[in-house]
Protein backbone atom coordinates (compact mmCIF):
# COMPACT_ATOMS: atom_id res chain seq x y z
CA UNK A 1 0.00 0.00 0.00
CA UNK A 2 1.41 3.37 -1.01
CA UNK A 3 1.99 6.09 1.58
CA UNK A 4 -0.84 8.24 0.21
CA UNK A 5 -3.20 5.23 0.41
CA UNK A 6 -2.16 4.64 4.01
CA UNK A 7 -2.70 8.29 4.87
CA UNK A 8 -6.12 8.23 3.23
CA UNK A 9 -6.99 5.03 5.09
CA UNK A 10 -5.99 6.65 8.39
CA UNK A 11 -7.98 9.80 7.50
CA UNK A 12 -11.07 7.68 6.83
CA UNK A 13 -10.52 5.71 10.04
CA UNK A 14 -10.21 9.01 11.92
CA UNK A 15 -13.51 10.14 10.39
CA UNK A 16 -15.12 6.90 11.59
CA UNK A 17 -13.66 7.00 15.11
CA UNK A 18 -14.26 10.70 15.85
CA UNK A 19 -18.06 10.57 16.22
CA UNK A 20 -18.00 7.11 17.78
CA UNK A 21 -15.25 7.30 20.42
CA UNK A 22 -13.09 10.45 20.18
CA UNK A 23 -10.91 9.35 23.11
CA UNK A 24 -9.55 6.54 20.92
CA UNK A 25 -8.02 9.06 18.49
CA UNK A 26 -5.01 9.15 20.83
CA UNK A 27 -4.21 5.58 19.81
CA UNK A 28 -5.01 5.84 16.11
CA UNK A 29 -1.48 6.44 14.77
CA UNK A 30 0.07 3.63 16.84
CA UNK A 31 -2.82 1.30 16.02
CA UNK A 32 -2.42 2.16 12.33
CA UNK A 33 1.25 1.17 12.41
CA UNK A 34 0.33 -2.14 14.03
CA UNK A 35 -2.55 -2.66 11.61
CA UNK A 36 -0.49 -2.03 8.48
CA UNK A 37 2.30 -4.29 9.80
CA UNK A 38 -0.11 -7.21 10.33
CA UNK A 39 -3.85 -6.63 9.80
CA UNK A 40 -4.85 -10.11 10.97
CA UNK A 41 -2.93 -9.68 14.21
CA UNK A 42 -4.47 -6.24 14.77
CA UNK A 43 -7.96 -7.71 14.39
CA UNK A 44 -7.27 -10.68 16.66
CA UNK A 45 -8.11 -10.90 20.32
CA UNK A 46 -5.52 -12.29 22.67
CA UNK A 47 -2.73 -10.72 20.63
CA UNK A 48 0.83 -11.76 21.42
CA UNK A 49 1.74 -8.15 22.14
CA UNK A 50 -0.82 -7.69 24.92
CA UNK A 51 -0.16 -8.57 28.50
CA UNK A 52 -2.44 -11.30 29.83
CA UNK A 53 -4.97 -9.86 32.25
CA UNK A 54 -4.73 -6.35 30.86
CA UNK A 55 -8.28 -6.52 29.52
CA UNK A 56 -7.04 -5.59 26.06
CA UNK A 57 -7.21 -9.18 24.85
CA UNK A 58 -10.98 -9.31 25.35
CA UNK A 59 -12.04 -7.22 22.36
CA UNK A 60 -10.83 -5.75 19.12
CA UNK A 61 -10.41 -1.99 19.38
CA UNK A 62 -12.57 0.57 17.63
CA UNK A 63 -9.51 1.93 15.82
CA UNK A 64 -8.59 -1.49 14.37
CA UNK A 65 -12.16 -1.94 13.14
CA UNK A 66 -12.14 1.57 11.66
CA UNK A 67 -8.84 0.89 9.86
CA UNK A 68 -10.13 -2.41 8.48
CA UNK A 69 -13.35 -0.79 7.27
CA UNK A 70 -11.49 2.19 5.79
CA UNK A 71 -9.08 -0.04 3.88
CA UNK A 72 -11.88 -2.29 2.63
CA UNK A 73 -13.91 0.75 1.55
CA UNK A 74 -10.95 2.17 -0.35
CA UNK A 75 -10.50 -1.20 -2.05
CA UNK A 76 -14.13 -0.99 -3.23
CA UNK A 77 -13.60 2.49 -4.69
CA UNK A 78 -10.29 1.48 -6.27
CA UNK A 79 -11.84 -1.61 -7.78
CA UNK A 80 -14.76 0.37 -9.22
CA UNK A 81 -12.51 3.00 -10.76
CA UNK A 82 -10.28 0.31 -12.26
CA UNK A 83 -13.30 -1.48 -13.72
CA UNK A 84 -14.59 1.75 -15.22
CA UNK A 85 -11.30 2.97 -16.64
CA UNK A 86 -9.12 0.04 -17.64
CA UNK A 87 -10.48 -3.08 -19.32
CA UNK A 88 -6.99 -4.46 -19.87
CA UNK A 89 -6.46 -4.90 -16.15
CA UNK A 90 -9.13 -7.60 -15.75
CA UNK A 91 -6.52 -10.30 -15.14
CA UNK A 92 -5.19 -8.29 -12.21
CA UNK A 93 -8.68 -7.94 -10.77
CA UNK A 94 -9.34 -11.67 -11.13
CA UNK A 95 -6.13 -12.49 -9.24
CA UNK A 96 -6.70 -9.82 -6.61
CA UNK A 97 -7.83 -11.02 -3.22
CA UNK A 98 -11.30 -9.70 -2.52
CA UNK A 99 -11.59 -9.09 1.20
CA UNK A 100 -14.49 -10.73 2.94
CA UNK A 101 -15.94 -9.09 5.98
CA UNK A 102 -13.76 -10.72 8.62
CA UNK A 103 -15.60 -8.81 11.34
CA UNK A 104 -19.10 -10.16 10.71
CA UNK A 105 -20.62 -12.01 13.62
CA UNK A 106 -17.62 -11.71 15.95
CA UNK A 107 -18.71 -11.01 19.54
CA UNK A 108 -15.32 -9.44 20.34
CA UNK A 109 -15.71 -6.65 17.76
CA UNK A 110 -17.38 -3.37 18.72
CA UNK A 111 -20.70 -2.64 17.05
CA UNK A 112 -22.10 0.70 15.96
CA UNK A 113 -25.55 2.25 16.18
CA UNK A 114 -27.28 3.46 13.03
CA UNK A 115 -26.70 7.04 14.21
CA UNK A 116 -22.95 6.42 14.66
CA UNK A 117 -22.77 4.82 11.22
CA UNK A 118 -24.58 7.78 9.66
CA UNK A 119 -22.16 10.22 11.34
CA UNK A 120 -19.16 8.17 10.22
CA UNK A 121 -20.45 7.94 6.64
CA UNK A 122 -21.01 11.71 6.50
CA UNK A 123 -17.51 12.32 7.85
CA UNK A 124 -16.02 9.88 5.33
CA UNK A 125 -17.82 11.68 2.50
CA UNK A 126 -16.37 15.00 3.67
CA UNK A 127 -12.85 13.55 3.95
CA UNK A 128 -13.11 11.96 0.50
CA UNK A 129 -14.34 15.19 -1.10
CA UNK A 130 -11.55 17.07 0.67
CA UNK A 131 -9.06 14.61 -0.85
CA UNK A 132 -10.36 15.45 -4.32
CA UNK A 133 -12.70 12.53 -5.00
CA UNK A 134 -15.74 13.41 -7.08
CA UNK A 135 -19.21 13.17 -5.53
CA UNK A 136 -19.90 9.69 -6.96
CA UNK A 137 -16.63 8.21 -5.66
CA UNK A 138 -17.11 9.88 -2.26
CA UNK A 139 -20.61 8.40 -2.03
CA UNK A 140 -19.32 4.96 -3.04
CA UNK A 141 -16.67 5.17 -0.34
CA UNK A 142 -19.18 6.27 2.32
CA UNK A 143 -21.55 3.48 1.26
CA UNK A 144 -18.75 0.91 1.52
CA UNK A 145 -17.96 2.17 5.03
CA UNK A 146 -21.66 2.08 5.95
CA UNK A 147 -22.00 -1.49 4.65
CA UNK A 148 -18.91 -2.80 6.45
CA UNK A 149 -19.23 -1.26 9.91
CA UNK A 150 -20.55 -3.91 12.30
CA UNK A 151 -24.10 -2.88 13.31
CA UNK A 152 -25.62 -3.19 16.75
CA UNK A 153 -28.46 -5.71 16.56
CA UNK A 154 -31.93 -4.20 16.37
CA UNK A 155 -33.86 -4.36 19.62
CA UNK A 156 -36.34 -7.24 19.70
CA UNK A 157 -39.83 -6.26 18.60
CA UNK A 158 -42.57 -6.54 21.16
CA UNK A 159 -44.84 -8.69 18.97
- In which element (H, E) is residue 66 found? helix 62-85
Question: End-to-end alpha-carbon separation of the chain, Å?
Answer: 49
pLDDT tens track for 1-12: 555 788 888 988
CA 146 to each of CA 11, 47, 93, 122, 136: distance values in angstroms, whole numbers, following the listed order: 16, 27, 23, 10, 15
pLDDT at 130: 83
**CA–CA separation, 28 vs 61, rounded Å?**
10
pLDDT tens track for 25-71: 898 999 999 999 998 888 886 544 444 444 444 456 788 888 888 88
3-state helix, strand, coil in the chain (%, to 5): 65, 0, 35
**CA–CA separation, 43 vs 61, rounded Å?**
8
The pLDDT > 90 percentage for the chain reads 7
Per DSSP, helices labelled H in 96-156 are 114-130, 135-148
pLDDT tens track for 119-142: 888 888 888 888 777 888 888 888
- Indicate the DSSP class of residue 102: T
**Do residues 140 and 82 make contact, with C-beta atoms less than 8 angstroms apart?**
no
Q: Is the pLDDT of residue 152 over 90?
A: no
Amino acid sequence: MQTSDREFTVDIARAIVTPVDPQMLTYLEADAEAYFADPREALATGRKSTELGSGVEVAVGVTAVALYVAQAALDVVLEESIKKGVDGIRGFLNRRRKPGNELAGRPDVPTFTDEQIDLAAAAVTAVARGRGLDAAAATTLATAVRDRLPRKPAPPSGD
